[in-house]
């Protein structure tokens, strides 16, 4: 066994090795991810977003981005490793072969007289009688004496020439890489070793498990409290109007736990006066309504006023103490609203469908919070059945700006989009009074806005037609295009202080019954994941239908090309209802942009199941009847609206059937946006 001193010197090496085995690979992975991360600018370049400072890469911003918990931990571990290397290098003498000539300062083959002369010279320096230093004594005994003996004593010289050491053959030495005080199993050192073993092997895993379980018992995978989900589920109703979604949203447990300080009273009173018109108070009984508002739970009052401060862009008037609460509220809002959408579309008995109306209301609230547009801007006004919310998200736009361009017969957002760049420039500079820079900012934002088209197919795999009780598969291709050529991009959000990605919700619903049959969230930022998901789904579908390998590969290649061109595949399954014809609508709702929502209408015909368990045929009334296709009449009015928003116009809601092709529920939608299909053109 090695000596205790050698064991003590091995302990830093052991610690360094264990740390390097985990730190080095993890650091390489983090660096590779940082290098391969896309550096292409995908955020808005308008002056409003530039002034917000959200994307400004200043030194402080870079330091704050780097100063994450994981990065600081890695840096600390590397500092410890460097210190260990320095300690090992300066405290452990490197093992070298025994060289007596070198120790005595002689060249190989020196004579006996030269050896004796060198020995006497070194004895004067290191002999214990001449030098009382213990280190000198140790060096004299272990090196100088052995070197002189190896070169003068016949036996020692023979051992040196034969084995390389004057003491003869040296055996293999093994040791335990632990500090010396832990190897002395007497009293306190033994207790320290026992405590270390218990702490590392038992207490540490137990503490980690307790922390993990306590956190997982309180939060979901999306870092939303379970209590919040329970509250949302309790207050979610099928007829929940968009104007009432706010009341449910602010009841989140995360918001209720935020403290209400006495110093907040006066700033909240001032904020109440500024946003009072947005609180849906009855003006006829304004005093009673105000008293009722302030009698609510203080946290609810505070949260509603802070949300309204974002919607009305009154955050600049907030006190310093409220600013931190305001930012925390906005930081939590996206994931809380996402969970609220999931609660709205959650399948419920007896038919297992979600609710359409509250889901649309939640997405509308998300759009308004991200773009800082008041909910009242969605109400019809001035001959515009859509409201002016979509206009207010553009830079430098206000209600007065809209009135100016409305005089030039531009009353809907779609009309503004359909204009050429030159026509818009002349409209904004001449009618609205914008500068060249302001008109350029508007053009930049319009180029960033996504344009969505849908291709939806509903069919029963391997069967012709859809019969009641069948498991129907919905295939939906969501096609996204932008005028600037990007696919994934961060939206224009100058009033939202955090990074916000675009998320789209695909809802297959029956607007007549307020039921959501299929729902799924879609994101266009991760192309690699979309390629993998689409190719896997197409491959499994084709293989299930018995397609050849060549056909499967061809279909997969087409799907990959489609994904790379800016499309995403969404698949969902639902059980076919009873016999009949169903007017369905596919919605694609964006949670960040106002005016980019898309929908398409189509019908599916469900046939009656045969008593023998085989598929019966409908009496032939033409090709459409044979294939379960239900023809729809041409929609004469572009104001067909499948869902009714609280802030949309209630006038002219006559619905006429749309002429579309729906074989097995097949329909294609090209450019049917909510702006053109959600309101009547004048």
For the segment 450-499, what is each residue's pLDDT rounded down to a tens digit? 999 999 999 888 788 899 889 999 999 999 999 988 888 899 999 999 98
Instruction: pLDDT band for 423, please (50, 70, 90 cuts).
Output: very high
- pLDDT at position 563: 94
459 forms beta bridges with: 473
For the segment 192-225, what is each residue's pLDDT rounded down to a tens digit? 666 777 777 788 888 888 877 777 778 887 889 9
- pLDDT at position 302: 95
- pLDDT at position 400: 93
- Quick check: bond before 501 cis, omega within 30? no
Contacts of 341 (CB under 8 A, 6+ apart): 359, 362, 363, 505, 521
For the segment 4-51, what is each residue's pLDDT rounded down to a tens digit? 555 556 677 878 888 888 889 888 888 877 665 544 558 888 888 888
d(CA 630, CA 620): 13
Q: Where are the domains of the chain?
A: 4-92, 100-163, 184-219, 226-393, 452-606
The pLDDT of 586-614, averaged and rounded, is 86
Q: By three-state DSSP, how is residue 547 classified?
A: coil
Q: Tell me whether domains 100-163 and 452-606 share a fold.
A: no
What CATH architecture is 452-606?
Sandwich (2.60)
226-393 has CATH 1.10.260.40 classification: no
* Best CA proximity match to 508, nearest among 583, 619, 412: 583
140 forms beta bridges with: none
Q: Are 512 and 346 in contact (CB under 8 A)?
A: no
Q: By three-state DSSP, how is residue 355 classified?
A: strand
Q: Are 184 and 7 in contact (CB under 8 A)?
A: no
184's tokens:
């002395």
Instruction: pLDDT band for 127, please (50, 70, 90 cuts).
Output: confident
For 651-672, b/e burial (b = at least 16 CB within 10 A) is eeeeeebbebebbbbbbbbeeb
The pLDDT of 628-633, averaged and rounded, is 38
Cα distances (Å, whole numbers) of residue 484 to 44, 417, 447, 582, 662:
11, 14, 5, 39, 33
For the segment 144-166, what is each residue's pLDDT rounded down to a tens digit? 888 887 777 777 777 776 766 66
In terms of phi and psi (left: phi > 0; alpha: psi -120 to 50; beta: otherwise), the region of 645 is: beta
How many CB atoms within 10 Å of residue 482? Answer: 17
Contacts of 181 (CB under 8 A, 6+ apart): 189, 192
Instruction: pLDDT band for 380, please (50, 70, 90 cuts).
Output: confident
- pLDDT at position 332: 95
Q: Is the dihedral of CA 76, 80, 86, 90 positive or negative?
A: positive
Where is average pLDDT lowest: 27-41, 259-273, 423-437?
27-41
Instruction: pLDDT band for 544, please (50, 70, 90 cuts).
Output: confident
Judged against a pLDDT cut of 80, whether residue 321 lies above it is answered with: yes
What percent of the chain clears pLDDT 90, i.e. is strictly above it? 45
d(CA 450, CA 595): 10
For the segment 71-117, what is each residue's pLDDT rounded down to a tens digit? 888 888 899 999 988 887 776 554 456 677 778 787 777 788 888 88
The pLDDT of 556-577, averaged and rounded, is 93
- pLDDT at position 62: 52
Cα distances (Å, whole numbers) of residue 128 to 137, 152, 191, 364, 435:
5, 21, 40, 91, 93
Residue with tokens 């036996």: 155
Q: Are 366 and 633 in contact (CB under 8 A)?
A: no
Where is average pLDDT lowest: 191-195, 260-264, 372-376, 470-474?
191-195
Output the DSSP codes for 123-156. HHHH-TTT---HHHHHHIIIIIHHHHHHHHSHHH
Instruction: pLDDT band for 424, please (50, 70, 90 cuts).
Output: very high
Q: Which residue has the higher pLDDT, 553 or 283?
A: 553
User: Would you call 550 exposed, middle or buried from its count of C-beta atoms within 10 A (0-12, 13-18, 19+)?
Assistant: exposed
495's tokens:
């009033």
What DSSP designation does 317 have? G
Q: Which residue has the higher pLDDT, 494 or 183?
A: 494
Output the DSSP codes for 484-538. TS-SS-----TT--S-----EEEEEEETTTTEEEEEEEE-SS-HHHHHHHHHHHH
- pLDDT at position 676: 36
Phi, psi of 546, rounded to the nearest 5 degrees? 80, 25
Judged against a pLDDT cut of 60, whether residue 373 lies above it is answered with: yes
Judged against a pLDDT cut of 90, whether residue 679 lies above it is answered with: no
Residue with tokens 């918001």: 255
* Best CA proximity match to 254, nearest among 363, 330, 200, 148: 330
- pLDDT at position 168: 66
Where is average pLDDT lowest: 390-394, 427-431, 665-669?
665-669
480 forms beta bridges with: 452
Superfamily of domain 100-163: DnaJ domain (1.10.287.110)
Contacts of 417 (CB under 8 A, 6+ apart): 446, 449, 675
């Amino acid at each position: 066994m090695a000596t205790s001193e050698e064991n003590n010197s091995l302990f830093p090496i052991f610690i360094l090795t264990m740390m390097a085995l985990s730190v080095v690979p993890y650091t390489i992975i983090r660096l590779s991810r940082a290098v391969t991360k896309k550096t292409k600018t995908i955020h808005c370049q308008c002056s409003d977003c530039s002034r917000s400072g959200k994307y400004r890469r200043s030194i402080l911003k870079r330091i704050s981005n780097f100063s994450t918990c994981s990065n600081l931990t890695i840096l600390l571990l590397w500092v410890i490793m460097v210190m260990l290397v320095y300690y090992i290098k300066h405290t452990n003498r490197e093992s070298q072969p025994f060289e007596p000539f070198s120790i005595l300062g002689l060249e190989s083959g020196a004579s006996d007289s030269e050896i004796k002369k060198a020995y006497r010279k070194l004895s004067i320096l290191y002999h214990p009688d001449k030098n009382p230093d213990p280190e000198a004594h140790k060096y004299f005994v272990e090196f100088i004496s052995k070197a002189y003996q190896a070169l003068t004593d016949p036996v020692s010289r023979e051992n040196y020439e034969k084995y390389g050491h004057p003491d003869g053959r040296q055996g293999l030495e093994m040791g335990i890489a632990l500090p010396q005080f832990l190897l002395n199993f007497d009293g306190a050192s033994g207790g320290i070793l026992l405590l270390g073993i218990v702490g590392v092997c038992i207490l540490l895993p137990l503490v980690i498990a307790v922390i993990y379980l306590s956190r997982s018992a309180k939060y979901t995978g999306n870092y939303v409290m379970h209590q919040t989900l329970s509250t949302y589920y309790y207050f979610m109703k099928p007829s929940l109007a968009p104007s009432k979604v706010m009341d449910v949203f602010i009841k989140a447990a995360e918001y209720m736990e935020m403290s209400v300080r006495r110093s907040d009273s006066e700033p909240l009173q001032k904020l109440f006066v500024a946003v009072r018109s947005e609180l849906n108070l009855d003006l006829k009984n304004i005093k009673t309504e105000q008293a009722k508002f302030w009698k609510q739970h203080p946290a609810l009052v505070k949260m509603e006023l802070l949300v309204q401060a974002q919607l009305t862009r009154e955050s600049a008037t907030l006190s310093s103490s409220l600013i931190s609460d305001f930012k925390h509220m906005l930081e939590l809002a996206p994931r809380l609203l996402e969970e609220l959408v999931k609660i709205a579309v959650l399948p419920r008995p007896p038919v297992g469908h979600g609710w359409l109306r509250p889901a649309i209301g939640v997405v509308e609230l998300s759009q308004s919070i991200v773009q800082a547009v008041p909910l009242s801007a969605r109400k019809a006004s001035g001959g515009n059945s859509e409201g002016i919310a979509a206009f207010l998200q553009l830079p430098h736009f206000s209600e007065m700006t809209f009135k100016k361009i409305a005089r030039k017969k531009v009353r809907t957002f779609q009309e503004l989009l359909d204009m050429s760049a030159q026509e818009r420039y002349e409209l904004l500079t001449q009618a609205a009074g914008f500068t060249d820079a302001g008109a350029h900012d508007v053009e930049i934002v319009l180029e960033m806005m996504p344009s969505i088209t849908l291709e939806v197919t509903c069919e029963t795999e391997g069967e012709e037609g859809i019969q009641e009780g069948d498991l129907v598969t919905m295939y939906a291709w969501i096609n996204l295009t932008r005028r600037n050529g990007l696919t994934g991009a961060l939206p224009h959000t100058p009033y939202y202080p955090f990074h916000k990605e675009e998320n789209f919700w695909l809802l297959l619903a029956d607007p007549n019954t307020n039921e959501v049959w299929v729902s799924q969230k879609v994101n266009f930022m991760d192309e690699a994941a979309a390629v993998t998901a689409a190719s896997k789904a197409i491959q499994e579908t084709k293989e299930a239908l018995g397609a050849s390998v060549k056909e499967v590969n061809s279909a997969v290649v087409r799907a990959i090309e489609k994904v790379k061109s800016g499309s995403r595949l969404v698949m969902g399954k639902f059980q076919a209802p009873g016999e009949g014809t169903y007017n369905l609508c596919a919605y694609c709702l964006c949670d960040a942009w106002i005016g980019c929502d898309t929908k398409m209408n189509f019908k599916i015909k469900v046939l009656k199941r045969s008593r023998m368990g085989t598929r019966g045929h409908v009496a032939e009334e033409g090709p459409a009847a044979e294939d379960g296709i239900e023809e729809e009449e041409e929609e004469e009015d572009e104001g067909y609206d499948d869902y009714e928003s609280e802030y949309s116009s209630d006038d002219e809601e006559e619905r006429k059937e749309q002429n579309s092709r729906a074989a097995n529920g097949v329909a294609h939608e090209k450019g049917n946006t909510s702006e053109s299909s959600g309101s009547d053109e004048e």
